[in-house]
Structure 1
């Protein structure tokens, strides 16, 4: 009898594995609402391919990553993205790149990339970087911070979907490059999303979530939230 149950279990697992191998690819956009229109030009997980007859070398190249970004923003950092919109040849390759410039004490605020892991290398300056784990299974444990100081030539990795940040703790400018295993990693800057959404989240929801006075939340929702 036990042998029969084991055989049935193995058969079910074989079916599940075969279904899993034919699953949909990971999403490259936040959502893709279905349209019941056979003539609609719908972009699904990427861009429509260019006719190979008119492809040029420029489709596989981009310039300007040697230029310092505008670091005069309130957070003191600037992200220069090399995603598929700027480098069309990236389409379907599952990779992309960013340059991040930091003013002294500039911050790349806590954020997540919902569709990609990230490998991060410091080129110049001294950066305090870190990531925060997902919800702990033990309710008595806290979310855990993994952070350290990085110098030129140091590399750090951020697993997909985890909150992370970088902070320039040096007195001079800093520069880093980040690589992603998606042509469209997505970016959710937590403060911007929560306090700067349109329409705004109900202030009492945020007040309870952050254990703040509702008037403080309303003030935070009134200030401009600029993406770096």
Structure 2
């Protein structure tokens, strides 16, 4: 009869084999299980994504939303036009989406993150100073021009700035149907409910009066 040591060895070996087989399935998102699952944006069913609608047409996979420049008369001098699952329902479960970003001369797409996606920008025209900051607080920055590509890793703070005297535009690609965006300044100073003044004052090493001045520049988000 086999002793305890032998049985223990066999058990550990079986665990190792099981984990080695399971590991690939844990390495990424699971494959979708049907050809298409067009998002039913009107459904009251809550899932991680959108439920599939029954009646599907070619228009569910189409949008001309990125064809024209967006209006850049904003406080930051830039505007983002999204072509995600909320605009193109056919993207549901496909794990991709696009945006167009237009910049006035001097326009800035303020520091922000995408919690669910890596972003790659392709410059349609103009030139931009772009960069991202790692969790070690190292800045990777570069000036990019028409036809260039630059990547921003998932979840890292990044920005784009048009320092030229002409408009600029990029197309952004994401490996998510709905990448999400958190603008750093708006998230902290325009949150609803408000982030307490003493938290912001201590974090930014400023006084409460300065916090109130900054908060006044941001419209609180709707909950």
Task: Report if TM-score (shorter chain) is over 0.5.
Answer: yes
Separation in structure 1 between the aligned mates of residue 24 and residue 170 of structure 2, nearest angstrom: 37
The answer (yes or no) to whether the contact 2:114–2:181 under 8 Å persists in 1 is yes
Q: Report the counterpart of residue 218 of structure 1 in structure 2.
A: 212
For structure 1, the residue ranges without an aligned partner over 5 or more in a row are: 27-39, 137-142
Which 4+ residue blocks in structure 1 deviate beyond 3 angstroms?
2-26
> Given the superposition, is the C-alpha separation of residues 9 and 156 from structure 1 closer, same or farther in structure 2, using an over 3 Å criterion?
farther
Shift of 1:12: 3.9
For structure 2, the residue ranges without an aligned partner over 5 or more in a row are: 30-42
Q: Report the counterpart of residue 53 of structure 2 in structure 1.
A: 50
Q: Report the counterpart of residue 122 of structure 2 in structure 1.
A: 121
Q: Secondary structure at the match of 2:86?
A: coil
Shift of 1:41: 4.4
Larger Rg: 2
Shift of 1:85: 1.2
Q: Report the counterpart of residue 90 of structure 1 in structure 2.
A: 91
Q: Normalising by structure 2, what TM-score?
A: 0.83
Q: Secondary structure at the match of 1:89?
A: helix
Q: Secondary structure at the match of 1:157?
A: strand
Q: Report the counterpart of residue 29 of structure 1 in structure 2.
A: none
Cα RMSD over matched residues? 2.7
Cα distance per residue 1:167-189 (max 9 Å; x no partner): 00110100000000000101000
Count of equivalent residues: 205
The answer (yes or no) to whether the contact 2:78–2:109 under 8 Å persists in 1 is yes
Separation in structure 2 between the aligned mates of residue 14 and residue 103 of structure 1, nearest angstrom: 57
> Given the superposition, is the C-alpha separation of residues 190 and 4 from structure 1 closer, same or farther in structure 2, using an over 3 Å criterion?
farther
Q: Report the counterpart of residue 193 of structure 1 in structure 2.
A: 187
